[in-house]
Structure 1
Amino acid sequence: MKLFPHQDRALNETYENNRVAYYLDMGLGKTFVGSEKMWELNTPFNLVICQKSKIDDWKKHFEDHYRYHVIVFDQQKIEKIPPESVLIINYDKVWRRPELLKLKNFTLMLDESSMIKNESSNRTKYILKLNADNVILLSGTPTGGKYEELWSQLHLLGWKINKKLFLKQFVVQEWDDLNQKYKITGYKNVDRLKAKLKKHGAIFMKTEEVFDLPKVNDQIVKIPCTKEYQQFAKDHIIEIGGDLLIGDTPTSKKLYLRQLAGSYNQNKLHYLKDLIDSTNDRIIIFYNFKKEYASLVDMIDKPISTVNGDLKDLSAYEEYENSVTLIQYQAGAMGLNLQKANKIVYFTLTDKSELFEQSKKRIHRIGQDKPCFYYYLLTAGSIEWRMLDVLKERKDYTDALFEKEEM
């Protein structure tokens, strides 16, 4: 397999390590680096854990480039696994397969290893129990901007620091009198953290270190607010479009404020309609909720592709230059190659910085030869402006890990 120089460099720098983390920026080809490292380690068995939407991609990758026995480990029971096999399973199912705890002589690879950031979840606790001889972690956003969420990955890399000590050394915490608990306000000793990660086989790499990608252009679009949004922000209750929205908890209030700034805001829908009609280029639209998807499909009269929890169909994107691709963050912010398009519209924002950063790299990646445009449709005076500020803050935290050390 012919690799790019930066991919060869990542492999060369970790040649002596049997536990590695390739934290390569989105679009730098972590799939190829990870699979080549797996081939170098040459264990009888291999286990790849990934998101459900990526199973077919991994299967095709191994079948196209290697001579492994590729087994999608889904519902079936496997009596005997042949040598030189790759088992592929998704994060939601892996902890329900106790037989994997008996697997020996294998390499474990986690695609989007940030999926084990919650050490108390069933999937993380199960994965940490696996008896892997070697470990390969892949992620473009290993922390989602929150360094405290690295702890589980550190353990897989062999750095057996306890959580309390890790927080003490690298996380700034302040006491919150209102909620009677400590809250995280920042991070410290980042250079020391980077040095320890490097010692344990972690490679950080940003796209701009490797390729001169086209310019990125951010377009903030201020959408007029609605009376309904203002009323709900004041009273925490409103009936709209036959729906009764009651913000009786902080969580429900935030949810309905986001929806009132999105699919319930006809001003935003009208602007987006005009934007879509103004170009014959491919457009990618990110959204959150099913109601948003229904509203978007109803107003678009161009070929539509869809990626969400119920459907993955990119045929219109592939075939039509004027197509519109609707992507729900959870289902499609990670892993898709959409560089045929150079325009992304954020109809609404996610509240997860990892998904936000990943979403931008769907078009700004290797193979893109046009300037990239990102349209942020933000309802005036709404919660969306603060959400964008927080998303940018989390990016700043993450970038500190990727920055080159001063020579």
Structure 2
Amino acid sequence: MSEYILPVTLHGRKLQLPGPKPRELQNFIESLPNSRWWPEKNLHTCDATPATAWNILSHSPCDVSASDEVTELSHRFLRRYEMFEDTGEQPPVRVLDSWEHQRQAYWFAYHRDSALFNMWMGTGKSKPTVELAINKKCKRVIVLCPSAVLGVWRREFAQWGVPDSCRTLILDKQSWTSKRKAKEADQFLKQCEGSGKCAIIVINYESAWRTAFEKWSLGVHWNMAICDESQKIANANTNQSRYCAKLGMNSDFRLCLSGTPLKKDPLSVFGQFKFLDRGVFGTSWTRFRDRYGIKGNFGDNHIVGYKNTDELSDLISLLTFTVGQDALDLPPVLDIERPVEFDKKAMQTYKIFEQECVTSFGDNILSADNILVKLLRLQQMTSGMVPLDPEYVLGPGGEYEVVATEWEFISDAKRKGLLELLQDFPADEPFVVFCKFKQDLVAIREIAQELGRRYGEISGDRKDLTPDAKMPEGIDLMGVQIQSGGIGIDLTRACCAAYYSIGYSLDDFQQSAARLSRPGQTRPCRFWHLTVRDTIDELIYKTLERRQEINEGVLSYLKEKQQRILQTG
């Protein structure tokens, strides 16, 4: 293939790659956006975007003979994504001056067709986002986000937008069908067009790809499409990620917002870049995975490492503006471990299960078939209750979720520990308690009643928040299920929180803490971690102190410990 030269020409909105090609080149050609083979014409075609032209000239496995038009298209991409010059200017139309990093983020994105704001939680991604919509004179904007932050966007556009310049429709009514949401959005869009105002339509990811709304929204030409918490589309094989990839092709400007876009896996950018600019990495997951991932022994998608990382980082940086936690000037944060102890019987039950993965309660047998279930059961024990005959469903975050109707009491050590902690605070001092399990929420609610505190909850069942996703004045104690309350909400009314239990993700933990320690917080934040001595809780807390991934560190420890037990027993 080293002697083969790939010809590339421009015809309208398509690049043409004529002639038969070596087999080794086929995978690369097929990865290009909307690649298609025309046997009657003996040529391939693909989308003629600047990024695609640049990708072919830069990454083709063989030499390329490009027409002048294709070369110019490639140069357009490079000029557009050259490092911007920071002149110190503020956005022309703005309500208030921006922080330095917000101003830089704005200008980084302004002259591009797409951008990813990789900005630490609380650094203010929304302000430059709204200012981009205003200064680009957008008339049709669509925002996709998790359900928990739908209402936040009304607040952000009201706070940072020009008064009376835009209207916001939040499609948050769960009773509405996809057809009803499409109808409401269409009527809203027409009303805004009639009044000359910018229409901002906000919908959650799970609703957006449903048939009726998908068909309607892909028939609209959007001036700006925003994916908030864009790690939600990291997996390119999900329905919501596929929808966003199609939406991106129908939008003038595309923006991803996330504090954790790469999560634990740098390959997770593929789904996000298919939305932002499919020309950068193409559309073939197989080729992308083979180019940058090192496969293990358990299938094609078992990735054990990464390669060509310098190239991958360079390509990601073309669209990505990064702001770290050090950009924030916030009051100090203090993490405090608050140990509690099992009684003798509870500790005996815990140790038996830890060693043998099985124990009994009367006629009921508690067992664990794998390491993930074992970790879940051990955490349930330290929380004080375990389900009898449960069903475990693998949730979207890779954690097992419990479906159970009957629970066995283990210990009230954590319940007493939280009760004693809260008794040290005035009853009207706002306090947040984070937890993993629904049974934990039951215990927190009972403690609130016992102490006469007004209780609120953020979980899969309840969202006791103000319309702009803040902690209401009428709540003294807020129970928050980490999976439901880690993204987008504002709990800065409180400066004190406790962790009753925690999930496996470092990202989720950091997101939850950032709900209190974020701009708007005026007091030092304190986080108490309730841990049962000599249990999995202590290992999780130590892992968090080192800011390591909880999942990897704890599971590795459990596997080693189980192996030692098998060898000695």
Q: Report if TM-score (shorter chain) is over 0.5.
A: yes
CA distance in 2, matches of 1:374, 1:192: 40
1:371-382 residue pairs with structure 2 within 5 A?
A: 371-382=524-535
Instruction: Structure 1: state its 5+ residue gaps.
Output: 398-407
- Could you say if the C-alpha distance between residues 195 and 241 of structure 1 is closer, same or farther in structure 2, counting changes exceeding 3 Å? farther
Q: Which residue of 2 is the match for residue 98 of structure 1?
A: 214
- Which amino acid counterpart does residue 219 of structure 1 have in structure 2? I
Shift of 1:193: 4.1
**Amino acid of the structure 2 residue aligned with 1:309:** G
Partner of 2:34: none
Alignment of 1:319 onto 2:440: no
Pick aligned residue for 1:350 from 489, 503, 508: 503
2:203 equivalent in structure 1: 89
The worse-fitting range, judged by mean Cα deviation, of 42-51 and 311-320 is: 311-320
Q: Distance in 2 between matches of 1:193 and 1:384?
A: 37
Query: TM-score w.r.t. structure 2 length?
Result: 0.62
Matches within 5 A, 1:186-201: 192-200=311-319
Contact 1:141 1:354 (C-alpha < 8 Å) held by counterparts? yes
Name the counterpart of 1:2. Answer: 96
Change (3 A) 1:259 1:314: same
Change (3 A) 1:145 1:385: farther
> Partner of 2:296: helix, strand, or coil?
strand
- Given the superposition, is the C-alpha separation of residues 266 and 92 from structure 1 closer, same or farther in structure 2, using an over 3 Å criterion? same
Hey, which bits of structure 1, 4+ residues long, moved more than 6 A?
none
Is the contact made by 2:529 and 2:541 (CA closer than 8 Å) also made in structure 1? no
One-letter amino acid of the structure 1 residue matched with residue 458 of structure 2:
V
CA contact (8 A) 2:292 2:307 kept: yes
Alignment of 1:361-380 (within 5 A): 361-380=514-533
Distance verdict in 2 for CA 1:174–1:373, change over 3 Å: farther
Separation in structure 1 between the aligned mates of residue 144 and residue 366 of structure 2, nearest angstrom: 39
User: Is 1:155 matched with 2:310?
Assistant: no
Are the structure 2 counterparts of residues 170 and 216 from structure 1 closer, same or farther at C-alpha, using a change threshold of 3 Å? farther
8 A Cα contact 2:501 2:530, kept in partner: yes
- The separation in 1 between residues aligned to 2:276 and 2:208, in whole angstroms, is 20
Contact 2:330/2:519, CA 8 A, preserved across alignment: yes
Find out whether 1:139 has 2:258 as its counterpart. Answer: yes
* 1:228 lines up with 2:326 in the alignment: no
**Could you say which residue in structure 2 is the equivalent of 1:404?**
none
Q: Which has the larger radius of gyration?
A: 2
CA 1:189–1:231: 2 relative to 1, 3 Å:
same
Match for residue 262 of structure 1?
Answer: 383
**Equivalences for 1:29-108 in 2 at 5 Å?**
29-63=124-158, 65-66=161-162, 67-73=165-171, 75=177, 76=180, 77-78=182-183, 79=186, 81-82=189-190, 83=193, 84-96=198-210, 97-99=213-215, 100-108=217-225
Measured after TM superposition, the shift of residue 382 of structure 1 is: 3.0
Q: Specify the code of the residue in structure 2 equivalent to 1:222.
A: P
Deviations 1:57-98 (A, max 9, x none): 213433563522323345324255323322211111111023
Question: Which among 467, 474, 483 is matched to residue 330 of structure 1?
Answer: 483
Bigger Cα displacement from structure 2, 118-127 vs 263-272: 263-272
Mapped to 1, the partners of 2:232 and 2:472 lie a distance apart of: 29
Which structure 2 residue ranges, 5 or more long, are not aligned?
1-94, 386-410, 553-569
Measure how far apart 1:7 and its partner are: 1.4
* 8 A Cα contact 2:435 2:441, kept in partner: yes
Q: Secondary structure at the match of 1:338?
A: coil
> Structure 1 residue 353: deviation in Å?
2.6
How far off is 1:359 after superposition?
A: 0.8
Change (3 A) 1:196 1:308: same
Structure 2: distance between partners of 1:370 and 1:241: 50
Cα separation, partners in 2 of 1:119 and 1:388, compared to 1, 3 Å? farther
C-alpha deviations, 1:156-201, integer Å up to 9, x for none?
2222245455445655x4735xx5777545556666544322322x
Q: Please tell me whether residue 393 in structure 1 is matched to residue 539 in structure 2.
A: no
Letter in 2 for 1:58: W
Aligned residue identity for 2:415: L
Identity %: 23
1:208-287 alignment, distance < 5 Å: 208-209=326-327, 211-225=328-342, 226-238=347-359, 245-264=366-385, 265-280=411-426, 281-287=429-435
- Residue equivalent to 1:205: 323
Structure 1 counterpart of 2:382, one-letter code: A
Q: CA RMSD in A?
A: 3.0
What is the DSSP-based 3-state SS (H/G/I as helix, E as strand, rest coil) of the residue aligned with 1:14? helix
How far apart in 2 are the matches of 1:352 and 1:308? 17
Change (3 A) 1:154 1:182: closer
CA deviation after TM superposition for structure 1 residue 340, in Å: 2.4
How many angstroms does 1:122 deviate by?
1.2
Alpha-carbon distance in structure 1 between the residues aligned to 2:321 and 2:375? 37
Aligned to 2:239: 122
Match of 1:22 in 2: 117
Cα distance in 2 for residues equivalent to 1:344 and 1:194:
37
Q: Is the Cα–Cα contact under 8 Å of residues 262 and 347 in structure 1 kept in the other structure?
A: yes
8 Å contact from structure 2 (residues 118, 260) kept in 1: yes
Find the counterpart in structure 1 of residue 59 from structure 2: none
Aligned residues: 390
How far apart are residue 138 of structure 1 and its match?
0.8
Change (3 A) 1:324 1:185: farther
